[in-house]
Amino acid sequence: MAAKWLYSEKVLDHFRNPRNVLDDSEGFEADAEGEVGNIKCGDMMAFYLKVDPDELRIIDCRWRTFGCASAIASTSVLSEMVKGMTLEEAWTVDAKSVVAELGGLPENKVHCSVLGDKALRAAINDYYRRHGMEDRVREPGSRTVCECLEVTEGDIEDAVLEGARTFYQLQEHTKIATSCGKCEDEARELLEHYLQKHFGDQGCAIPEMPEG
């Protein structure tokens, strides 16, 4: 009696055989690297790029993660997606497109996929910095609220538009304030703000039971 696998077949495939994992023994020489996340929250991601300097195109890439099956699979898929893209194209790849490419993730696992693209963008910025293109370095689309996990105001707004109504749901979407927790008050205010902005009076944050 074989039970169904928890995730999609594609997640299983990438979990069993993750592509482009950095292997110490292969001597991969990265032109740039980016790392985000933090061991405290149980998620950490590093992305390494080899770039064609003329076309500013990603020739090859590697990654490493301290993460669960979803994190491994989503980063593996991301690494395949961005190979051959220009740095500018790669910059626009976000967690949503990775999840779509994977054939979806269970709702409560989406937050496991949010670090890969951030590590990638950090690596792209690193490339620009190392190669005298400071003018191309972009900060995340908007102000960073959660320093530990690099969650921005824009991420919070997106989460609200995707259906987050409680602070816990916001955390499920973004992982915000799951590490040191010092941004929690501000994050709660921003949640309230964006709920008001998009849903008016119906959008008040739903009171939560003690302990979610």
Partner 1 sequence: MVSNRHERKTGMEQRRIYLDHNATTPLHPDVRRAMTDAMKVFGNPSSLHSHGREAADLVAESRREVADFIGASPREIVFVGSGSEANNTVLAALTCEKGACARLRGPQRGLVTTAIEHPCVMETAKCLAARGIPVSFAPVDDSGRVEVDALEELVDDSVAMVSVMLANNETGTLQDVRAVSEVCRSRDVLLHCDAVQAVGKIPVDVDELGVDFLTISAHKIYGPKGVGALYVRRGVPFCPLIRGGHQEDGRRAGTENVLGIVGLAAAVRARRAEMEEEHGRMLRLRHRLLDGIEARIPDFRVNGHRERCIPAALNVSFPGAEGESILLYLDLEGIEVSTGSACASGSLDPSHVLQAMRIPEVCLHGSVRISMGRATTEEDIDRVLKVLPPIIARIRGMSTVNGRE
> Could you give the residue numbers annotated as active site?
41, 112
CB of 191 to partner 1, least distance (A): 15
What's the length of the chain? Answer: 212
Instruction: Give the DSSP per-residue string, 133-190.
Output: -GGG----SS-EEETTTTEEHHHHHHHHHTT--SHHHHHHHH-TTSSS-TTHHHHHHH
CB of 211 to partner 1, least distance (A): 5
Q: How many CB atoms lie within 10 A of CB 122?
A: 19
CB of 42 to partner 1, least distance (A): 4
Q: Are 32 and 48 in contact (CB under 8 A)?
A: yes
Closest CA to 177 of 36, 35, 40: 40
Q: For residues 19 and 131, which CB has a smaller minimum distance to partner 1 in the complex?
A: 19
Mark the segment that binds partner 1 (CB under 8 A) among 48-56, 107-115, 125-133, 188-196: 107-115
Mark the segment that binds partner 1 (CB under 8 A) among 48-56, 81-89, 104-112, 154-162: 104-112
CB of 79 to partner 1, least distance (A): 11
- Quote the CA–CA distance of 152 and 167 in Å, as a whole number: 15
Residue 45 near partner 1 by CB under 8 A: yes
**Residue of 21, 85, 180, 205 that binds partner 1 (CB under 8 A):** 21
| Integer CA distances (angstroms), 58 to 89, 129, 143, 207, in order | 10, 16, 27, 46
Q: What is the largest CA-CA distance in the chain?
A: 59
Residues 141-180, one symbol each (x = binds partner 1 by CB under 8 A, - = not), give ---------------------------x--xx--x--x--
Q: How many CB atoms lie within 10 A of CB 173?
A: 22
**Residue of 53, 108, 161, 189 that binds partner 1 (CB under 8 A):** 108
Residue 134 near partner 1 by CB under 8 A: no
Note the residues at the interface with partner 1 (CB under 8 A). 2, 6, 15-21, 23-24, 26, 35, 37, 39-42, 44-46, 64-72, 106, 108-109, 111-112, 168, 171-172, 175, 178, 210-212
